[in-house]
Structure 1
């Protein structure tokens, strides 16, 4: 599937948002009733706008099965946060008419890039020692926070470690979040469940004081019919490179540092002019942060 981008006007009306920086491995908590949208880009960097005039086209590779980042909409068109982010990047770099995005199976992404059948991968490819050997990466533009979810009638106040000390907290058995909960909150009584759904069901019944897991997935659960408006986030969010990885970046060929730095420049501009916040609010109406 190939999609060519046509210029599109983005209009932001009445969006209340807060942009704040987050450092790796730290916990942070917004203290405002506004919707919080994170900024993981270091705005102290001062980069000049790159010149990509020598490129006849820039081809981004993605998948269709990673909602809300990449998916097919009801009309079968490629959509999602990453797709709109690519469009915005290309607009900032003044290369929109030369931008393409192609969807394929996840397993085919890296081989396609190595064959030069694409220039960049924007599909949640993890930064690991193996991928770093074969690819170069932009700076992370999104990171997955861990969050506590509690019943609305029994919210947890900060500091959450003290509020939940000795209390039962559900977590998915064998997950990174279970290991993170043990390391970060040793005084909490961890109750491991085979699945997230089982742990959340125990929370709804009042059998545990909280559930600890992926903030992004939980933000969508909170708005779902399954939650029955029972619960909300308490404390956090919490970040950890060790347990949750370095986040989402765009991968390019190892010798294409020029494109990686150009993408970094564009994302920095999107953060500065708040378009990045607009994209987050569009696809994550309940902030995971």
Structure 2
């Protein structure tokens, strides 16, 4: 017994000695970060006349990259493939109004929320609807962008309505204007941007805001990242805190919205 104890102790000491000299895992030093955004969700992210990605989130991304002292490049990616392409390594982060949900957390990591988006419902100007309750919209056709929290919310809450899915919110807006659906549900800033457009002013109106439901809408909007890139998450978390603390977020938000985002 004594010999076994001595031998085991010696092995333990030797193991600890080797471990003490083993190189520690070194965090990646991020100098360039490749960021993807959809480019089809104004005013958050969209393409300008030259084909450049622009919008509220692109301005935020540039401010965050400056705070993090990294050079960022931007590329457009269709919404349906935006998280799979992140996981495949085509870019390092997604800044595209991605709501933080438990379901998405199974696939990717998220930064802390950089803002929280209210949701709203728009209808034709001559709509008799008085509110956006499931009872009011029973039997009605609601258009939502596919693979969004609004899809989950509409399908989970408006069980007696017909839910029509669209690749882009602009397509739902066009069908609303054309009388092919009874309502559309999206982030409030997106709905308001549509209603301020010539097409929106001519056809449609705001019906109601939707109260945030964490089960469906998530905790807020965050930067999607690969789970192994914890060092990049730390950089962005710090940058998000700084742009909120020094007024940068409010300054950028005021360029796009006439109400306060948190």
- TM category (shorter chain) comes to 0.5 to 0.7
Q: Residue 148 of structure 1 contacts residue 234 of structure 1 at CA under 8 Å; is this kept in 2?
A: yes
Q: What is the distance in 1 between the residues matched to 2:58 and 2:86?
A: 15
Local SS of the residue matching 1:60: strand
Answering whether residue 235 of structure 2 is matched by residue 276 of structure 1, we say no
Structure 2 CA distance for partners of 1:254 and 1:153, relative to 1, 3 Å: closer
- What residue in structure 2 maps to residue 137 of structure 1? 110
Alignment partner for residue 264 of structure 1, among 208, 224, 237? 237
CA–CA distance in structure 2, aligned partners of residues 124 and 257 of structure 1? 20
Alpha-carbon offset, residue 255 of structure 1? 3.1
Write the deviation string for residues 64-105 of structure 1: whole angstroms up to 9, x where unpaired: 533333333222333222221121112223x1xx31213154
Q: CA RMSD in A?
A: 4.3
> Could you say which residue in structure 2 is the equivalent of 1:82?
57
1:72 corresponds to 2:44: no
Q: Determine if contact 1:62/1:70 at 8 Å carries over to the other structure.
A: no
Displacement of 1:135 after TM fit?
A: 2.9
Query: Greater CA radius of gyration, 1 or 2?
Result: 2
Gaps of 5+ in 2: 1-26, 145-150, 166-171
Is 1:179–1:243's contact at 8 Å kept on the other side of the alignment?
no
Aligned to 2:223: 250
Aligned residue among 72, 75, 81 for 1:100: 72
Structure 2 length-normalised TM: 0.59
Alpha-carbon separation, structure 2, partners of 1:276 and 1:254: 26
Q: Name the structure 2 match of 1:21.
A: none
The secondary structure found in structure 2 opposite 1:255 is coil
3-state SS, counterpart of residue 141 of structure 1: coil
Q: Distance in 2 between matches of 1:259 and 1:134?
A: 17
The answer for unaligned runs of 5 or more in structure 1 is 1-52, 184-189, 203-207
Output the CA distance in 1 between the equivalents of 2:230 and 2:94: 14
Distance between the aligned counterparts of 2:38 and 2:135, measured in 1? 43
Separation in 1, partners of 2:141, 2:58: 32
Mapped contact 2:143–2:184 kept (Cα < 8 A): no
Runs of 4+ residues deviating >6 angstroms: 150-154, 286-289
1:227 deviates by 2.8
- Cα distance in 1 for partners of 2:237, 2:101 equals 19
Structure having the higher helix fraction is 2
- Conserved? CA contact 2:98–2:222, under 8 Å: yes
CA shift for structure 1 position 239: 1.0
Q: Please, which moves more after superposition, 236-245 or 215-224?
A: 236-245
Alignment deviations for residues 242-284 of structure 1 (CA, whole Å, 9 cap, x no partner): 2334443112332332321331222122122332122223234
